[in-house]
Structure 1
């Protein structure tokens, strides 16, 4: 907490500045619309009274470079709350990008983008190419932000997209809403640091890169013990990064030997989906004739006894690349237009559920589920109208085992944090109606009915986080 305080005279001066910012009269003189454009004076005064208490919580070293917070305060003084929300969000994005740079760009890009375009992302200059939603989701994966902060920022991003100044809209923001969002962004992002686990991962990768001698047996044992204390998500991030380092022909020999000496330990601590993703990378090296990368990747998998995680077919590789493309389109501009050709291509691989490769089931279901739940905007309920029929067709062909995967995926942090949104919740209800068929098992049907039950008004995200849901899916 910064010790700076404002005295009564300073506060009175700020109130006077805000009250006298009669921009509405200027609009009237120009013959422009003035109704419902600017916040009324009493709203602006409420902001002027409270903004200093929040802003002064930011350490001076960070505050003096917070350009978009200056723009935020300027927008508030005029009364453009929608513009202020956009300025506040921009400050959050810049702060998260700075945290990513401190954490490690290689680790971030490994988790944020697919292998087929990974070589396009190498420096801080490439961060603006990462969409805001991808930035948020990847920061959650890396524990740069916590689950609850991700949930709050997801909501603020939805508000920024729906009623902020970044898009045409007729929404209104009041002072207390804006102050609440400012408080969250200041206390939980701008003035906060990544988790202890995330810092340990960053330091470990940094030390691995710079170590100029081989690990001793004691160091390897210590690394193994440390891995047991990390979440599987962070262990998976390490696995993805050291695999990328090991298969990079430019990495020196000592680093490669050190990676190989700890590879099996990291492998054992990591989740299954990361292992399948790396198996897909090897297949990609084969297709692209990257022989040295292929050789190194095969060596890594041999050391980890991981050959069962290699892609079984070219079809699996192509579907993986298409899933990466689809989620990129979903998070990008004009996603309603660009999603359709990608999902149309994906659906050309399937006639029945038996055509879906087992090693890519989870990836496909999760990707299509996220797109069908939508991006939260009210237009077309946030779902691409051209792609919607393809999504529904895919969902309707799933067999019972695949429906179990879908229901289990609802617990994914990124998905469940979207389900505080009424628009996305309604889309999920449509999905549940589609998959509720006579072919589903009694337990799957019971789980679906639990989620669809509206006898008590409970937020969908809270239903999924409840012990009842965990009990229902525990047998899947």
Structure 2
């Protein structure tokens, strides 16, 4: 071995030549067998493995407990060393809970939780709380709880059931470092009452919105799930002011890419509860919530049908109303956004296809140029079934689209242009002949 073992900016010296012989002399003087204590090989192996573990501990956490652990290892007192590293791990877990926020923990626990309660918390309860707050994951909880049992039964903290060797100690050390000490970061909790007050307050400006999105992104999964479900409830509350509902959507839009399956499940359960309880106003608002977030694919088919049906009806009524060329674009854009969230339900495909195509080919006076891009994008995304509906409707004189085509040459030219947007690979073989006839 080299004279010095380097660990970042920490150096561990070679074991002094006096330590190992002194242990042998001590046991001899006391009249006890040398193998009562750790052997020379065990001490040397444990000392050799220390740097690999110590380098994972942040410098600010290499304190007097870590130093005492090293001294205990050098003397073969693995039971004492286990106690020092365990105490260091427990202190760090407590600090992570402080960083999370004791008032927030109290809100989550629905009970008083101050510094006194944190200090008095038994190690087993502390691990339970860290798991609940996502400070440690399930793997970390399992291994640290295992360490807790080993520490209680084999360390110097209590009368022991037996001894541990160098390999068992290094494994214990590795788990304390890996799951408690190595990662000095910790999730920071969100003050629930402050968050809800902010959402229900005036309209967020961009900076304010981004701060709350960041805070929710940095908190643990369980609290984020709880708060997202809360803002869904705020959005669906008809008594709530519009700024609060818009704030709710802004928060969810900022986080939706990280929605877990649990969050989505909670939202669907709340949505279903509105239906089950006959809360029609909240159910309608909840449909708007899912639509605004681009999550209508999570809804059942009848609810998806309802959303598409309303969007199609609004577009068709506007297309047939006054100033349609100016009023169509936002409704056409919204219908495109909905189609990009998932497949159009089969129950509404016929109405969907004919409405889009009638708007795209115009009414004899022309088309809405500002809406043209949206119609073209929708047509490019037609499924084979929707293409078949289009071709058949164009060939039926009594269909809405068929009657529109019979109006004049302009509509027929626009139909040909629209049909050319479709990828030939998507055209079902059963209607290819009709497609080719219409595009000639």
The normalised TM-score by structure 2 is 0.44
Q: Higher relative contact order by CA 8 Å / sep ≥ 6: 1 or 2?
A: 1
Which has the greater radius of gyration?
Answer: 2
